[in-house]
């Protein structure tokens, strides 16, 4: 069965609104507005995001009929920051349950270089096996982290994990950008036919975030998976239009800044 990437990409490009930080970081990222999942879902729907990324519990309670027009990416694994153990993110939701919840794609984090890398790679490979039987794209968060990783943004390491994602069968790789345009071209090249999106990261100033978005798009990447830079913004719809201008309409940073 062919992999239905067109459900989460427009003309081969995509911006995914991430909202799995509640599990990964706890409420420290939230304020009284954005801790309400409906606030986020309204941004995703009215902002015309290419997809929204949710954990299965949030999807079950908030991705109802009203929001069904937003393509859904269900994050299948996750972990908290409550332990200081070696990074290990286990599967918490099956591919079948994600499909029942309405998923157009599934996501999974691999902490490359962790002592538990092997277990995560194996779990990921069986997810790819199942998801691809249904034509469902699989997005891999390729995050070098753990006691064997000295510099998680080292360019050679990012190129290595990009290649690993391709070889593991991922369709899209979500990788942290290291502010190195030339270096990232090598990262994207190593991903081959697997497409690359950059993670949003901590909240930046408008200009910094738009410059980051622009730079990422010069490397051959196809877009962003972004959370805090949108839903922590006091004008989330204006920032949405600005990043769409760069990603989908190939505008410059100066042109995009006009939306803010
Ligand atoms: P942000 O744009 O808010 O950084 O979201 C991207 C994301 O990968 C989320 O999907 C995930 O919850 C979080 O960042 C992971 O953050 P960290 O790198 O701190 O583990």
Q: What is the pLDDT of residues 8-40, one digit of tens each?
A: 999 999 999 999 999 999 999 999 999 999 999
Convert the pLDDT of each residue in 198-250 to its tens digit. Answer: 999 999 999 999 999 999 999 999 999 999 999 999 999 999 999 999 999 99
- Are 26 and 81 in contact, with CB atoms under 8 Å apart? yes
Mutation to probe ligand 1, out of 161, 177, 199 (largest number of atoms < 8 A from CB)? 199
Please name the residues in contact with 14: beta carbons below 8 A apart, sequence gap of 6 or more. 8, 50, 51, 172, 197, 222, 223, 247
- Residue 103 sits at the vertex; the CA angle it makes with 102 and 107, to the nearest 5 degrees, is 155
Q: State residue 86's pLDDT score.
A: 97
Three-state secondary-structure class, residue 96: helix
> Which residue is it, tokens 């972004």?
226
Convert the pLDDT of each residue in 48-66 to its tens digit. Answer: 999 999 999 999 999 988 8
Q: What are φ and ψ of residue 111, in 5° steps?
A: -90, 90
Q: Which has the closest alpha carbon to 23: 79, 93, 76, 89? A: 79
- Residue 30 sits at the vertex; the CA angle it makes with 24 and 35, to the nearest 5 degrees, is 95
Q: Could you tell me what percent of the chain has a pLDDT over 90?
A: 98
Ligand 1 geometric centre to CA of 16 (Å)? 12
- Are 205 and 170 in contact, with CB atoms under 8 Å apart? no
Q: State residue 66's pLDDT score.
A: 83
Ligand 1 geometric centre to CA of 25 (Å)? 8
> Which residues line the pocket of ligand 1, CB cutoff 6 A?
18, 20-21, 24, 53, 141, 199-201, 225-229
Ligand 1 geometric centre to CA of 206 (Å)? 18
Mutation to probe ligand 1, out of 20, 27, 177 (largest number of atoms < 8 A from CB)? 20
Res. 1: pLDDT tops 80 = no
User: Which pLDDT band, with edges at 50, 70 and 90, does 100 fall under?
Assistant: very high
Please name the residues in contact with 233: beta carbons below 8 A apart, sequence gap of 6 or more. 203, 239
> Which residue is it, tokens 């760069």?
246
Residue 174 alpha carbon, nearest atom of ligand 1: 8
What residue ranges define each of the domains in the chain, with the CATH number in brackets?
5-257 (3.20.20.70)
């Amino acid at each position: 069965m062919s992999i239905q990437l067109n459900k989460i990409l427009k003309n081969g490009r995509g911006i995914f609104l991430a909202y799995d930080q509640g599990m990964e970081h706890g409420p420290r990222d939230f304020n009284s507005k954005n801790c309400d999942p409906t606030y986020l879902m309204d941004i995703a729907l009215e902002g015309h995001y290419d997809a929204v990324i949710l954990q299965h519990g949030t999807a079950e309670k908030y991705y109802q009929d009203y929001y069904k027009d937003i393509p859904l990416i269900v994050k299948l694994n996750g972990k908290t920051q409550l332990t200081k153990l070696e990074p290990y993110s286990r599967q918490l939701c099956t591919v079948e349950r994600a499909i029942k919840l309405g998923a157009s794609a599934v996501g999974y984090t691999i902490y490359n270089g962790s002592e538990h890398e092997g277990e995560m790679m194996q779990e990921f490979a069986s997810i790819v096996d199942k998801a691809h039987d249904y034509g469902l794209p699989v997005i891999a968060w390729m995050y070098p982290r753990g006691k064997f990783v000295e510099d998680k943004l080292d360019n050679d390491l990012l190129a290595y994990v990009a290649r690993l994602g391709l070889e593991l069968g991922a369709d899209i790789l979500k990788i942290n950008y290291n502010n190195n345009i030339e270096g990232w071209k090598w990262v994207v090249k190593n991903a081959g036919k697997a497409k690359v999106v950059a993670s949003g990261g901590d909240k930046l100033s408008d200009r910094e975030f738009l410059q980051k978005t622009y730079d990422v798009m010069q490397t051959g990447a196809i877009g962003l998976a972004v959370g805090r830079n949108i839903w922590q913004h006091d004008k989330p719809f204006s920032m949405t239009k600005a990043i769409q201008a760069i990603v989908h309409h190939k505008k410059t940073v100066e042109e995009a800044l006009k939306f803010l």
